[in-house]
Structure 1
Amino acid sequence: MKLLENSQLEAISDALSIETGDCKIYGKVESYSCKMAGNDKRLFKTMSHDGQSPHELQALSPPQTQMSLSPNRQYSRSTSSEGEGPLCDTCSRKMLFYLTSTLNASFHPDYDFSDTKSHEFSREPSLQWVVNAIDSNMFATGGAMYSAIKSKLWSAIDNEVSLPECEFYSYNPDLECDPFGEGGVLWSFNYFFYNKKMKRILFYSCRAVSSSAGQVSADSGIGQDLGMEMDGDDMQEDYIDEDDLTYSSHERVTPLLY
């Protein structure tokens, strides 16, 4: 997977480093090409050493909530030695490789996701579900500071991968292999926006850490040291201005709906 340079996404990632009175948010938004190069081809061959087809379906875990599932959602049956299993979402072995390789590229060299299993991923019901899930966490913790960048964030993502054409996946690891499993993490999410036509994946990863937990470990693989102290009074007057990313921090942005 090749990281695609994008100044808008870099500015968004910088703006997602938000510090409030009781916690810190660390986020990043990155775009990757799905065109395989040398290392990717070797890893894919390793994952397919048993001779199984790259189009073979792999069972995914259901989304964390079933309430927003579309009535037109399609499922396949997983199989086991005892016969047919329950209805579940699936993805191809090749798609699983794309998701795993994106994690490896984003968190290299701190983590290795080569042995990640399909059940640690979910396919999300819709774009609106993903937007609502992300905005809910971000608003609850980031408040007005997230409001100031929300519209620009979703616009930049849409420009990069054309959201209406995407499939949506999330990474929900077991606690033992969760890179965000250290103490003090209030919430975290990892979403993938996959545009098959463009052969591109956008990866949006974010977490909130309690300030009482202390400085996040330097090897956590996400976020940067904020390097600045903000007080509540100044925060209401600050402006974010990076590559045309300009909003007042107290401005309310109309929610973006697709």
Structure 2
Amino acid sequence: MKFLPLRKLDPINRALVFDTHDCRVIGGCEIYTTKAAGGDKKLYKSISNTLTSRYETDLRLSEELSPPTDSKLQSKAVYQTLHSPFGPLDQVSARKTFAYMIATLNASHPDYDFSSVLRPTDFRREKNVRTVINTFNTTLFNLGVNVGNTIPRMWDTIDSEMDLTDCNIYSYSPDNVSDDPYGEEGLIWSNIYFFFNKNKKRVCYLYLRGISALSHSPAETGVWGLNGVRSGTMGESDSGDEADMWSDSKSIWGDDGGYDDMVEGMEM
């Protein structure tokens, strides 16, 4: 996976890091290509071998626990192993997609290896892009952030790079919080999505995490980008080029009309 340093995402990344009365919210929007880089091919092969090993282990276990003639229980065990949000894991495309999720997380958090801890069941396939947008916007609104006013054209900017209607969307919510790199740093909640566009060969990693106020210093006002590189400070004005990115025309995703307009367009 290769990180794409897109300047048009800088205002979004700055706006998604802020403090509330009880937590620090750490968010970001990062886009990667799925073209193999560095040790990616080795990682993909390792993940494929791990999935195969888990399948064989589960199959043997079902055979040991089931009567020789009870093929239904064996079939159920095989289904539970192969079925995933990415499709049947006996298919190469499904395994690759799962590997892309792992590789994206590894690239975003270089000091943490997700490949040995995460399972396909730690992800969920999202069916509707509008629902995802509404959920993310509502989370921000509940934290005191109006997307239309604070981050105008946020979704149009992401859409321009990802073509959201052509993306498969996956949410990430591991069963074991220790599988999250922030799990031991006062993680209270998380809201994490991956937008995968197979045709564009890109993955967009969009996340919000609520970290306990006790686990970070209030003096930390800077915003740090990928791999700890400072990208700006809270309250810093955008450059002229960045300001031009936000036009006054109506957003195709409806995030410029304020929260009331967004709620009216919600799909229940």
Q: TM-score, normalised by structure 1?
A: 0.70
Tell me, what secondary structure is at the counterpart of 2:76?
Answer: strand
Say if 1:81 and 1:214 are closer, same or farther in 2 by CA, change over 3 A. Answer: same
The answer (yes or no) to whether the contact 1:18–1:142 under 8 Å persists in 2 is no
- TM-aligned CA deviation for residue 150 of structure 1: 4.0
Tell me, what secondary structure is at the counterpart of 1:26?
Answer: strand
Letter of the 2:85 counterpart = T
The answer (yes or no) to whether the contact 1:28–1:222 under 8 Å persists in 2 is no
Among candidates 74, 85, 88, match of residue 90 of structure 1: 85
What is aligned with 1:160? 161
Tell me, what secondary structure is at the counterpart of 1:95?
Answer: helix
Matches within 5 A, 1:15-94: 15-49=15-49, 82-84=74-76, 89-91=84-86, 92-94=94-96
Q: Provide the rounded CA distance (Å) in 1 between the counterparts of 2:21 and 2:49.
A: 51
Q: Provide the rounded CA distance (Å) in 2 between the counterparts of 1:13 and 1:51.
A: 34
Q: Provide the rounded CA distance (Å) in 1 between the counterparts of 2:142 and 2:75.
A: 44
More strand by share: 1
- TM-aligned CA deviation for residue 81 of structure 1: 6.2
Letter of the 1:140 counterpart = N
Tell me, what secondary structure is at the counterpart of 1:130?
Answer: helix
Say if 1:48 and 1:161 are closer, same or farther in 2 by CA, change over 3 A. Answer: same
What is aligned with 1:71? none
- Residue 241 in 1 paired to residue 241 in 2? no
- TM-aligned CA deviation for residue 185 of structure 1: 3.2
Tell me, what secondary structure is at the counterpart of 1:215?
Answer: coil
Q: Provide the rounded CA distance (Å) in 1 between the counterparts of 2:136 and 2:262.
A: 12
- TM-aligned CA deviation for residue 129 of structure 1: 1.7
Tell me, what secondary structure is at the counterpart of 1:82?
Answer: helix
Matches within 5 A, 1:83-232: 83-84=75-76, 89-91=84-86, 92-109=94-111, 111-115=112-116, 116-144=118-146, 146-173=147-174, 174-182=176-184, 184-215=186-217
Say if 1:81 and 1:177 are closer, same or farther in 2 by CA, change over 3 A. Answer: farther
Aligned residues: 218
Q: Provide the rounded CA distance (Å) in 2 between the counterparts of 1:211 and 1:133.
A: 24
Q: Provide the rounded CA distance (Å) in 2 between the counterparts of 1:125 and 1:42.
A: 31
What is aligned with 1:255? 262
Tell me, what secondary structure is at the counterpart of 2:149?
Answer: helix
- TM-aligned CA deviation for residue 184 of structure 1: 4.2
The answer (yes or no) to whether the contact 1:28–1:223 under 8 Å persists in 2 is no
Q: TM-score, normalised by structure 2?
A: 0.68
Letter of the 1:107 counterpart = H
The answer (yes or no) to whether the contact 2:34–2:201 under 8 Å persists in 1 is yes
State the structure with more CA Rg.
Answer: 2
What is aligned with 2:89? none
Letter of the 1:142 counterpart = G
- TM-aligned CA deviation for residue 24 of structure 1: 2.3
The answer (yes or no) to whether the contact 1:27–1:223 under 8 Å persists in 2 is no
Say if 1:183 and 1:103 are closer, same or farther in 2 by CA, change over 3 A. Answer: closer
Letter of the 2:217 counterpart = Q
Q: Provide the rounded CA distance (Å) in 2 between the counterparts of 1:100 and 1:226.
A: 28
Q: Provide the rounded CA distance (Å) in 1 between the counterparts of 2:165 and 2:27.
A: 23
What is aligned with 1:4? 4
Identity between Structure 1 and Structure 2 (%): 31
Q: Provide the rounded CA distance (Å) in 2 between the counterparts of 1:51 and 1:239.
A: 46
What is aligned with 1:70? none
More helix by share: 2
